[in-house]
Amino acid sequence: CIEKVDRFVYRLIAERRNSTLYSDDLLSMLIEIRDEETGEGMTDQQIRDEVFTVFLAGHETTATVMAWVWYVLDQHPEIERKLHAELDRVLAGRLPSMVTLPKLTYTKMLIEETMRYYPPSWMIPRSVEADDVIGGLPVKKGTTVLISPYVVHRHPDFWENPETFDPERFHPDKVVPRSAFIPFGSGPRLCIGNSFAMMEMQLILAMTAQAFRLRLLPSITNVKTTTMPTLRPNKPLHMMLETRTKPVSSATWLIATETGEYAVVPSEDSTTGEPN
Protein backbone atom coordinates (compact mmCIF):
# COMPACT_ATOMS: atom_id res chain seq x y z
CA CYS A 1 0.00 0.00 0.00
CA ILE A 2 2.81 2.43 0.93
CA GLU A 3 4.58 1.60 -2.33
CA LYS A 4 1.48 2.53 -4.32
CA VAL A 5 1.14 5.81 -2.44
CA ASP A 6 4.86 6.45 -2.98
CA ARG A 7 4.52 6.00 -6.73
CA PHE A 8 1.48 8.27 -6.80
CA VAL A 9 3.19 11.05 -4.80
CA TYR A 10 6.43 10.87 -6.80
CA ARG A 11 4.43 11.03 -10.04
CA LEU A 12 2.64 14.16 -8.83
CA ILE A 13 5.97 15.73 -7.85
CA ALA A 14 7.46 14.98 -11.28
CA GLU A 15 4.41 16.36 -13.08
CA ARG A 16 4.44 19.52 -11.00
CA ARG A 17 8.19 20.07 -11.52
CA ASN A 18 7.76 19.72 -15.29
CA SER A 19 4.73 22.01 -15.43
CA THR A 20 5.01 25.69 -16.31
CA LEU A 21 1.80 26.45 -14.44
CA TYR A 22 1.84 27.40 -10.76
CA SER A 23 -0.79 26.01 -8.43
CA ASP A 24 -1.42 27.68 -5.10
CA ASP A 25 -1.25 24.50 -3.03
CA LEU A 26 0.99 22.64 -0.61
CA LEU A 27 2.90 20.70 -3.26
CA SER A 28 3.82 23.82 -5.23
CA MET A 29 4.89 25.56 -2.04
CA LEU A 30 7.20 22.67 -1.12
CA ILE A 31 8.72 22.62 -4.61
CA GLU A 32 9.32 26.38 -4.64
CA ILE A 33 10.75 26.68 -1.14
CA ARG A 34 14.50 27.39 -0.88
CA ASP A 35 17.04 27.14 1.92
CA GLU A 36 17.89 30.65 3.13
CA GLU A 37 21.63 29.88 3.37
CA THR A 38 22.31 27.58 0.41
CA GLY A 39 19.49 28.52 -1.93
CA GLU A 40 18.87 24.83 -2.58
CA GLY A 41 15.39 23.41 -2.97
CA MET A 42 13.93 20.29 -1.43
CA THR A 43 14.65 16.88 -2.93
CA ASP A 44 11.83 14.64 -4.12
CA GLN A 45 12.41 12.48 -1.04
CA GLN A 46 12.08 15.46 1.30
CA ILE A 47 8.91 16.64 -0.42
CA ARG A 48 7.47 13.13 -0.26
CA ASP A 49 8.22 12.98 3.48
CA GLU A 50 6.48 16.31 4.11
CA VAL A 51 3.43 15.22 2.12
CA PHE A 52 3.26 11.97 4.10
CA THR A 53 3.52 13.92 7.35
CA VAL A 54 0.51 16.08 6.51
CA PHE A 55 -1.73 13.46 4.93
CA LEU A 56 -0.86 10.24 6.75
CA ALA A 57 0.59 11.09 10.16
CA GLY A 58 -2.79 12.14 11.55
CA HIS A 59 -4.90 9.37 10.08
CA GLU A 60 -5.52 7.62 13.41
CA THR A 61 -6.41 10.78 15.34
CA THR A 62 -8.85 11.85 12.62
CA ALA A 63 -10.44 8.40 12.49
CA THR A 64 -10.73 8.34 16.28
CA VAL A 65 -12.49 11.71 16.39
CA MET A 66 -14.95 10.59 13.70
CA ALA A 67 -15.70 7.39 15.64
CA TRP A 68 -16.61 9.50 18.65
CA VAL A 69 -18.69 11.88 16.48
CA TRP A 70 -20.88 9.02 15.25
CA TYR A 71 -21.22 7.71 18.79
CA VAL A 72 -22.24 11.14 20.09
CA LEU A 73 -24.85 11.55 17.34
CA ASP A 74 -26.34 8.18 18.24
CA GLN A 75 -26.49 9.12 21.93
CA HIS A 76 -27.83 12.67 21.45
CA PRO A 77 -30.79 12.78 19.02
CA GLU A 78 -31.32 16.51 19.58
CA ILE A 79 -27.77 17.24 18.43
CA GLU A 80 -28.26 15.01 15.40
CA ARG A 81 -31.44 16.90 14.49
CA LYS A 82 -29.61 20.24 14.61
CA LEU A 83 -26.84 18.83 12.43
CA HIS A 84 -29.28 17.46 9.86
CA ALA A 85 -31.20 20.74 9.80
CA GLU A 86 -28.03 22.67 8.98
CA LEU A 87 -26.90 20.21 6.33
CA ASP A 88 -30.32 20.23 4.67
CA ARG A 89 -30.47 24.03 4.72
CA VAL A 90 -26.94 24.75 3.51
CA LEU A 91 -26.25 21.84 1.17
CA ALA A 92 -29.76 20.87 0.04
CA GLY A 93 -28.49 17.52 -1.25
CA ARG A 94 -25.36 18.90 -2.91
CA LEU A 95 -21.80 17.85 -2.15
CA PRO A 96 -20.03 20.14 0.33
CA SER A 97 -17.41 22.45 -1.17
CA MET A 98 -14.94 25.10 -0.05
CA VAL A 99 -17.72 27.63 -0.66
CA THR A 100 -20.31 25.93 1.55
CA LEU A 101 -17.91 24.61 4.21
CA PRO A 102 -17.64 27.94 6.12
CA LYS A 103 -21.45 28.02 6.30
CA LEU A 104 -21.57 24.69 8.16
CA THR A 105 -21.19 26.37 11.54
CA TYR A 106 -22.90 23.73 13.68
CA THR A 107 -21.02 20.95 11.90
CA LYS A 108 -17.74 22.56 12.97
CA MET A 109 -19.04 23.21 16.49
CA LEU A 110 -19.97 19.52 16.84
CA ILE A 111 -16.50 18.36 15.79
CA GLU A 112 -14.80 20.83 18.12
CA GLU A 113 -16.93 19.78 21.09
CA THR A 114 -16.16 16.14 20.29
CA MET A 115 -12.44 16.94 20.36
CA ARG A 116 -12.89 18.76 23.66
CA TYR A 117 -14.77 15.88 25.23
CA TYR A 118 -12.71 13.12 23.61
CA PRO A 119 -9.33 14.63 22.64
CA PRO A 120 -7.58 11.96 20.55
CA SER A 121 -4.13 13.12 21.68
CA TRP A 122 -4.86 12.95 25.39
CA MET A 123 -1.23 13.52 26.41
CA ILE A 124 1.34 15.86 24.82
CA PRO A 125 5.04 15.56 25.81
CA ARG A 126 7.30 18.61 25.90
CA SER A 127 11.01 18.85 26.75
CA VAL A 128 12.08 21.63 29.13
CA GLU A 129 14.77 23.81 27.49
CA ALA A 130 15.98 25.47 30.69
CA ASP A 131 15.62 25.10 34.45
CA ASP A 132 12.25 26.45 35.51
CA VAL A 133 9.61 26.42 38.22
CA ILE A 134 6.15 25.19 37.21
CA GLY A 135 3.33 25.32 39.73
CA GLY A 136 5.83 25.78 42.52
CA LEU A 137 7.82 22.71 41.50
CA PRO A 138 11.43 23.02 40.26
CA VAL A 139 11.88 21.46 36.82
CA LYS A 140 15.34 20.73 35.44
CA LYS A 141 16.46 21.28 31.85
CA GLY A 142 15.83 18.20 29.70
CA THR A 143 12.90 17.01 31.82
CA THR A 144 9.91 15.72 29.87
CA VAL A 145 6.70 17.46 30.91
CA LEU A 146 3.36 15.87 30.02
CA ILE A 147 0.45 18.17 29.16
CA SER A 148 -2.98 16.53 29.19
CA PRO A 149 -5.61 18.03 26.85
CA TYR A 150 -8.10 15.64 28.47
CA VAL A 151 -7.60 17.25 31.88
CA VAL A 152 -7.50 20.81 30.49
CA HIS A 153 -10.63 20.25 28.39
CA ARG A 154 -12.61 19.10 31.45
CA HIS A 155 -11.27 21.59 33.97
CA PRO A 156 -14.04 23.62 35.66
CA ASP A 157 -11.82 26.72 35.77
CA PHE A 158 -12.03 26.93 31.97
CA TRP A 159 -15.36 25.34 31.11
CA GLU A 160 -18.87 25.62 32.50
CA ASN A 161 -20.33 22.17 33.19
CA PRO A 162 -17.33 20.48 31.54
CA GLU A 163 -18.83 16.98 31.83
CA THR A 164 -21.82 18.00 29.69
CA PHE A 165 -21.51 17.51 25.93
CA ASP A 166 -22.62 20.80 24.39
CA PRO A 167 -21.53 21.99 20.92
CA GLU A 168 -23.01 25.43 21.67
CA ARG A 169 -19.97 26.27 23.79
CA PHE A 170 -18.09 26.64 20.48
CA HIS A 171 -20.59 29.06 18.94
CA PRO A 172 -18.73 31.80 17.00
CA ASP A 173 -20.17 34.44 19.36
CA LYS A 174 -18.54 32.78 22.37
CA VAL A 175 -14.91 33.12 23.41
CA VAL A 176 -12.90 30.05 24.39
CA PRO A 177 -10.26 30.82 27.06
CA ARG A 178 -6.73 30.95 25.66
CA SER A 179 -5.03 27.53 25.63
CA ALA A 180 -8.10 25.91 27.19
CA PHE A 181 -8.81 24.05 23.94
CA ILE A 182 -5.70 22.29 22.67
CA PRO A 183 -6.63 19.17 20.64
CA PHE A 184 -3.81 20.04 18.21
CA GLY A 185 -1.43 21.40 20.82
CA SER A 186 -0.58 25.10 21.02
CA GLY A 187 2.11 27.64 20.28
CA PRO A 188 5.00 27.11 17.83
CA ARG A 189 4.60 23.32 18.11
CA LEU A 190 0.97 23.42 16.98
CA CYS A 191 0.14 20.41 14.80
CA ILE A 192 0.98 21.32 11.20
CA GLY A 193 -2.02 19.39 9.93
CA ASN A 194 -4.68 21.03 12.10
CA SER A 195 -6.38 22.97 9.29
CA PHE A 196 -6.33 19.97 6.95
CA ALA A 197 -7.71 17.69 9.67
CA MET A 198 -10.59 20.06 10.44
CA MET A 199 -11.47 20.41 6.77
CA GLU A 200 -11.28 16.64 6.29
CA MET A 201 -13.54 15.89 9.25
CA GLN A 202 -16.10 18.52 8.24
CA LEU A 203 -16.26 17.11 4.72
CA ILE A 204 -16.60 13.52 5.93
CA LEU A 205 -19.32 14.43 8.43
CA ALA A 206 -21.25 16.61 5.99
CA MET A 207 -21.11 14.13 3.11
CA THR A 208 -22.16 11.19 5.27
CA ALA A 209 -24.64 12.69 7.72
CA GLN A 210 -26.76 14.49 5.15
CA ALA A 211 -27.63 11.14 3.55
CA PHE A 212 -27.28 8.61 6.37
CA ARG A 213 -27.84 7.99 10.06
CA LEU A 214 -25.45 5.72 11.94
CA ARG A 215 -27.08 3.68 14.68
CA LEU A 216 -25.13 1.83 17.35
CA LEU A 217 -26.04 -1.85 17.53
CA PRO A 218 -28.11 -2.65 20.64
CA SER A 219 -25.47 -5.19 21.67
CA ILE A 220 -22.85 -2.44 22.06
CA THR A 221 -23.20 -1.14 25.62
CA ASN A 222 -21.06 0.37 28.37
CA VAL A 223 -18.82 2.32 25.99
CA LYS A 224 -15.88 3.91 27.77
CA THR A 225 -12.58 5.51 26.82
CA THR A 226 -9.25 3.75 26.61
CA THR A 227 -5.77 4.97 25.70
CA MET A 228 -3.89 2.90 23.10
CA PRO A 229 -2.30 5.36 22.34
CA THR A 230 -5.11 7.68 21.24
CA LEU A 231 -8.22 8.23 23.35
CA ARG A 232 -10.47 5.76 21.59
CA PRO A 233 -13.55 3.69 22.48
CA ASN A 234 -12.82 0.60 24.56
CA LYS A 235 -14.60 -1.60 22.02
CA PRO A 236 -15.49 -1.55 18.31
CA LEU A 237 -18.49 0.72 17.71
CA HIS A 238 -20.45 -1.52 15.34
CA MET A 239 -23.18 0.54 13.70
CA MET A 240 -26.04 0.16 11.26
CA LEU A 241 -26.29 2.51 8.30
CA GLU A 242 -29.75 3.99 7.69
CA THR A 243 -30.64 6.19 4.74
CA ARG A 244 -32.36 9.44 5.65
CA THR A 245 -34.58 9.03 2.57
CA LYS A 246 -37.27 6.37 2.12
CA PRO A 247 -35.51 2.99 1.78
CA VAL A 248 -35.61 1.66 -1.76
CA SER A 249 -33.88 -1.63 -1.12
CA SER A 250 -32.22 -3.65 1.59
CA ALA A 251 -28.96 -2.77 -0.16
CA THR A 252 -28.42 0.78 -1.40
CA TRP A 253 -25.59 2.88 -2.79
CA LEU A 254 -25.04 6.60 -2.47
CA ILE A 255 -24.05 7.99 -5.87
CA ALA A 256 -22.80 11.54 -6.50
CA THR A 257 -24.31 12.77 -9.77
CA GLU A 258 -22.70 15.18 -12.21
CA THR A 259 -24.76 18.05 -10.77
CA GLY A 260 -23.29 17.44 -7.32
CA GLU A 261 -26.48 15.94 -5.92
CA TYR A 262 -26.89 12.62 -4.14
CA ALA A 263 -28.87 9.76 -5.62
CA VAL A 264 -29.71 6.69 -3.54
CA VAL A 265 -29.57 3.80 -5.98
CA PRO A 266 -30.84 0.27 -5.17
CA SER A 267 -28.44 -2.59 -5.64
CA GLU A 268 -30.28 -5.55 -7.17
CA ASP A 269 -27.34 -7.82 -6.55
CA SER A 270 -26.12 -7.37 -2.99
CA THR A 271 -23.78 -10.35 -3.33
CA THR A 272 -21.46 -8.66 -5.82
CA GLY A 273 -20.98 -5.51 -3.79
CA GLU A 274 -21.47 -3.35 -6.88
CA PRO A 275 -24.34 -1.08 -7.89
CA ASN A 276 -26.16 -2.04 -11.05
The closest of 49, 187, 202, 178 to 111, measured between CA atoms, is: 202
Cα separation of 124 and 142, whole Å?
A: 15
| DSSP-assigned letter for residue 177 | P
Length in residues, the chain: 276
| The one-letter amino acid at 193 | G
| The one-letter amino acid at 247 | P
272 is catalytic: no
Of 191, 212, 230, 252, which one is the catalytic site residue? 191
Of 61, 107, 114, 252, which one is the catalytic site residue? 61
Q: What are the counts of helices (DSSP H) followed by strands (DSSP E) for the chain?
A: 8, 10
Residue spans of beta strands (DSSP E) within the chain: 124-127, 132-134, 137-139, 144-147, 212-216, 225-227, 231-233, 239-243, 252-256, 262-266
Burial of 233 (0-12, 13-18, 19+ CB in 10 A): middle
Q: Reduced to 3 states, what is the DSSP secondary structure of residue 224?
A: coil
Of 107, 114, 170, 184, which one is the catalytic site residue? 184
| The one-letter amino acid at 7 | R
| DSSP-assigned letter for residue 160 | S
Ramachandran region of residue 113, left (φ > 0), alpha (ψ -120 to 50) or beta? alpha
What is the chain's alpha carbon radius of gyration, rounded to the nearest angstrom? 22
Angle between helices 59-75 and 105-117 (to 10 degrees): 100
- Give the number of other Cβ atoms within 10 Å of residue 126's Cβ: 13
1 is catalytic: no
The closest of 90, 50, 116 to 205, measured between CA atoms, is: 90
Catalytic residue set: 61, 184, 191
